[in-house]
Amino acid sequence: MKQKILELLSASEIFISGEKLAELCGISRTAVWKHINSLKEEGYNIETQPRTGYKLISRPDALVKTEILDGLQTKVFGKEFLYTFFEIDSTNLKAKQLANEGKPEGTVVVAESQTKGKGRLGRKWVSPSGKGVWVSFILRPPILPVKATQLTFVIAVAMVHSLKNIGISDVQIKWPNDILIHRRKVAGILTELSAEIDCVNYVIVGIGINVNQDTFEFPEEFKDKATSLKEACGHKVSRIKVLQSVLKEVEHFYYLYLENGFGEIINLWRENSVTLGKEVEVISGTEKITGLAIDIDEEGCLLVKDREGKVNKIVAGDVSLRGKKGNYV
């Protein structure tokens, strides 16, 4: 009902009376008043005049539930189970806990900030308050566990489309899990699997997107490798719009993958990859391989052809692309 009141207030440029809102929503005026107060508590600035009613002045710049749901174009993702936090250790950890409790596919966890945001291999993902979209969701795909790695690629393709949708160009994917703009990392994807030998219990997908940081706000150690959507387009970007776009595209490409398989996704991934066709250096465990990144295979492994012509199959590793000066960056 709160959602409906917000919709009515958003659509009106003049004051709407409590009586009218009550009539349109089929509730009492006291109930309207309670919902209005709850919206105010969430950060909505609503002007109230005793005889004329209510008018929406501004919306909160916060990832609150009401705001996320207002205009969210998904069927399942975030619609029924959407958890928002002001601060959390890690959205992936919370989503994992919820998945273990039996929450369904499409459950979404979002936080304003993470104190223990995670990257691959236990690395840290820096997630400052109010600056980005730090989100995880639960998937329960009916696939074999060996295929779960494909989901990182599904999500990467969805990420490219979601950022393009909101007008950000030059978005590319770096194998396996980074989203880049002008060769700098704007987002990362972390996929975690819980499975039996022959079936997936659940997959948690975490996405961290830098939205409104300025370059000077990034930590020294990766300042020259990171970027934000604000940096890319020269103005502040609505985190709500980013999140809504991401949820919509993730849902779309995930169901497309379940219906049509990995083939279509691979092709889209190839089209948007910054890695393929480049000279790369891969550190995989204690091994270092240099060569030409020629393709990815059905499991999402990177195929690197070295000088001897041997094609190396990289399951996991850190990839650097060869820069103009011949060095790897």
Binding site for ligand ADP (CB under 6 A): 119-120, 123-126, 177-178, 185, 188, 208, 210, 222, 226, 318
**C-alpha of 123 from chain center:** 18
Q: Which is nearer to ligand ADP, 78 or 188 (CB)?
A: 188
Rounded Cα distance between 33 and 44, Å, is 14
Q: Which is nearer to ligand ADP, 178 or 251 (CB)?
A: 178
Residue 254 belongs to what H/E stretch? Answer: helix 239-260
Q: Which is nearer to ligand ADP, 119 or 261 (CB)?
A: 119
Rounded Cα distance between 83 and 163, Å, is 23
Q: Which is nearer to ligand ADP, 152 or 244 (CB)?
A: 152
Q: Could you tell me the smallest distance in angstroms from the CB atom of residue 170 to ligand ADP? A: 17
Q: Which is nearer to ligand ADP, 66 or 90 (CB)?
A: 90
Rounded Cα distance between 218 and 153, Å, is 26
Q: Could you tell me the smallest distance in angstroms from the CB atom of residue 210 to ligand ADP? A: 5
Distances in Å between the alpha carbon of 59 and those of 144, 209, 279?
44, 22, 47
Q: Could you tell me the smallest distance in angstroms from the CB atom of residue 136 to ligand ADP? A: 14
Q: Which is nearer to ligand ADP, 72 or 190 (CB)?
A: 190
The tokens of 189 are what? 């994807």
Q: Could you tell me the smallest distance in angstroms from the CB atom of residue 316 to ligand ADP? A: 10
3-state helix/strand/coil string of 44-97: CEEEEECCCEEEEEECCCCCCHHHHHCCCCCCCCCCCCEEEEEEECCHHHHHHH
Q: Which is nearer to ligand ADP, 9 or 296 (CB)?
A: 296
Check: CB of residue 152 under 8 Å from CB of residue 300. yes
Q: Could you tell me the smallest distance in angstroms from the CB atom of residue 177 to ligand ADP? A: 5
Q: Could you tell me the smallest distance in angstroms from the CB atom of residue 121 to ligand ADP? A: 6
b/e map of 92-109 (b: 16 or more CB within 10 Å)? bbbbbebbeeebebbbbb
Q: Could you tell me the smallest distance in angstroms from the CB atom of residue 26 to ligand ADP? A: 45
